């Protein structure tokens, strides 16, 4: 039987990081109190420091969606360019 991963809300993660930064308990104690995996609080803290307010966006990061959209647009533009190149080559041939 496959294990299912627990999902935690952004508010839950931010609260855990806030508790860690308060310094009243160690990360291990916080993890035991909140019944979360070992090392998660420190990982969340690192993500929060790297991304600030954009940390913990949910499923995937917003820049991933933007990057996928830009790649799709880039592919379409290349196809259009190739079609136009072929059309120019056909119409620039001298008539028979």
Q: Which CA distances in Å does 4 have to 1, 7, 74?
A: 9, 9, 37
Per-residue pLDDT tens over the stretch 25-62: 888 999 999 888 889 899 988 888 887 777 776 665 66
In which residue are the tokens 């109190």 written?
A: 33
pLDDT at residue 82 tops 90: yes
Instruction: Give the range of the structural domain holding residue 70, as residue numbers without chain letter.
Output: 60-96
pTM of the model as a whole:
0.55
What integer pLDDT is reported at residue 61 of this predicted model?
61
**Which of the four pLDDT bands, split at 50, 70 and 90, describes residue 70?**
very high
Task: Kindly state whether residues 48 and 78 are assigned to the same domain.
Answer: no
- CA–chain centroid gap for 62, Å, is 6
Has residue 72 got a pLDDT over 80?
yes
Tokens 């959209």 map to which residue? 69
Same domain, 17 and 40: yes
Q: How confident is the model at residue 87 (pLDDT cuts 50, 70, 90)?
A: very high
Is residue 84 situated within a structural domain? yes
How is residue 93 written in tokens? 């041939």
Q: Which of 58, 5, 71, 81 is nearest to 36 (CA)?
A: 5
Q: How many domains does the chain have?
A: 2
- Residue 1 inside a domain? The answer is no
Mean pLDDT estimate for the chain: 85
pLDDT the model gives residue 8 = 84
CA dihedral 52, 53, 56, 59 (to 10 degrees): -120
Question: Are 45 and 65 found together in one domain?
Answer: no
């Amino acid at each position: 039987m496959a294990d299912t991963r627990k999902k935690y809300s952004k508010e839950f993660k931010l609260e855990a990081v806030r508790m860690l930064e308060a310094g009243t308990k160690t990360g291990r104690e916080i993890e035991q109190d909140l019944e979360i995996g070992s090392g998660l609080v420190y990982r969340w803290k690192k993500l929060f420091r790297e991304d600030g307010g954009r940390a913990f966006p949910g499923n995937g990061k917003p820049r991933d969606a933007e990057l996928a959209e830009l790649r799709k647009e880039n592919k379409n533009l290349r196809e259009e360019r190739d079609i136009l190149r072929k059309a120019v080559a056909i119409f620039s041939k001298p008539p028979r």
